[in-house]
Amino acid sequence: MQLYNTLSAEERAIMIDDAGKQRLTLSFYAYAKIQDPQKFRNDLFIAWNALDALGRIYVAHEGINAQMSVPAENFEAFRETLEAYDFMKGIRLNVAVEQDDHSFLKLTIKVRHKIVADGLNDDTFDVTNIGVHLKAKEFNEILDDPNTIVVDFRNHYESEVGHFKGAITPDVETFRESLPIINEQLKDHKDDKNLVMYCTGGIRCEKASAYFKHQGFKNVYQLEGGIINYAKQLKEEGLESKFIGKNFVFDNRLGERITDDIISQCHQCGKPCDNHTNCENDGCHLLFIQCDDCKAAMENCCSTECLEIIHMPLVDQVRLRTGKQVGNKVFRKGKSENLKFKHSGELPETALATAQKPADIRQKIKVKKVLLGKAEHYYVKAQVGQFTIENQELNSGDKILISGPTTGDQEMVLNRIIVNGTETQSAKIGDKVTFEVPFRIRLSDKLYKIVN
């Protein structure tokens, strides 16, 4: 019984491109009492893996929180897997405004203590006593009420590229930070103001609205389905958007455009820009805004220090990041003194520029590569890896990529190869190849040739 991924993200991306079929990016959540989250997780993995559904999902005793990519042709079958559970019958699926077949490249379902890290003790208040849900039209109307205070319950890197006009945008890195800050800031308006809140898909507000009602706020409202559902209703009903800019999303797209207004700047040069980048340095991965010119000049790096590091020998890069808690595919949400044009806290509502039609909403150009083979062994003392060639030829001087779930993506140029025990210049299908690798490889690693 398969309960884990057998393909790397790179292999999955190739399969998706080769299939040439549309995929839908969507999200949903549900609070419910789940007795056995581990069994629930395993059952979902089996059902969704069979449908080629991918994504990042958290399950806990309190419910489920999911962001996913599903083949369009399997959409109804996927919905049926949800309908099998009473608490997900008729569940709202927030379908993304902008689609990208590569939004998710693995199916990751994790059992957590909570489906959103809110830092709250749920036993101290009624989590079901939530605020009034507002649809887009109702939300627009209440924003026009002078007695309304609207609060963005997302983080600084999300609100910087897009937010509702007039919203309070806390300068925080996590949801749990915002709750006490907002409670203190609005403590004198518990009776006389409408407390209206919003987030990306609605899940953060579901808990926050109950928390603030418990804190004594009388008139609590929340945007139903979050910004994603708001944007959908704008199109369906022809409504005015009171949201300005881009909606940050937690997948490979890193954003979907709601309006053509660009309200943020490249963190490096100050040019109007709202495209996020993960720093290329595997020991950093800082999330920041970077324009195309700086992306080319800085090679996806956030600083000259990181730019120097990515050009170091791989063995030195590995040594520098040893012990750092930065995953190869996980962005770091902090700030840096190197980024002179980073804004947070009170944010502008005036557009700095108008967005052009995007050519590619992914954060960086894909590396063109061809799968050659797989890892067979790693000789630790000699720092030598052995691979079996299963496709095409490998030659001395080729630029290669070694990729795996633990190893990550490591590029290097082959200066010397041993083929079937003899030093030579090329290897063909069926050959055993060994060469120096300055980092540990695993049997799950794949070997690619970079062709661009």
The residues that are catalytic are 199
Structure tokens at 357: 């039609």
Amino acid 232 reads K
Structure tokens at 405: 């779930």
Q: β-strands 261-262, 353-354: how paired?
A: antiparallel
Closest alpha carbon to 294 in 260, 319, 270, 261: 270
Structure tokens at 299: 């090679």
77 within 8 A of 11, measured Cβ to Cβ = no
105 within 8 A of 207, measured Cβ to Cβ = no
15 within 8 A of 65, measured Cβ to Cβ = no
Burial degree of 106 (CB within 10 A; 0-12, 13-18, 19+): middle
Question: What does each C-alpha distance from 221 to 94, 132, 143, 194, 205 come to in angstroms?
Answer: 19, 5, 11, 7, 9
Distance in angstroms (rounded) separating the CA atoms of residues 167 and 159: 10
Task: Tell me the longest C-alpha to C-alpha distance in the chain.
Answer: 82
258 within 8 A of 278, measured Cβ to Cβ = no
Q: Residue 39: CB partners within 8 Å, gap ≥ 6?
A: none
Distance in angstroms (rounded) separating the CA atoms of residues 259 and 181: 29
283 within 8 A of 320, measured Cβ to Cβ = yes
Torsion of CA 390, 393, 394, 400, to 10 degrees: -70
Amino acid 136 reads A
3-state DSSP assignment of residue 221: strand
Structure tokens at 215: 């804190």
Strands, E assignment, 147-242: 148-152, 162-164, 194-198, 219-223
Burial degree of 365 (CB within 10 A; 0-12, 13-18, 19+): exposed
Q: Residue 79: CB partners within 8 Å, gap ≥ 6?
A: 93
Q: Residue 180: CB partners within 8 Å, gap ≥ 6?
A: none
Task: Please state the three-class secondary structure of 340-395 as a single string.
Answer: CCCCCCCCCCCCCEECCCCCCCCCCCCCCEEEEEEEEEEECCCCEEEEEECCCCEE
Question: What does each C-alpha distance from 325 to 95, 278, 332 come to in angstroms?
Answer: 32, 15, 10
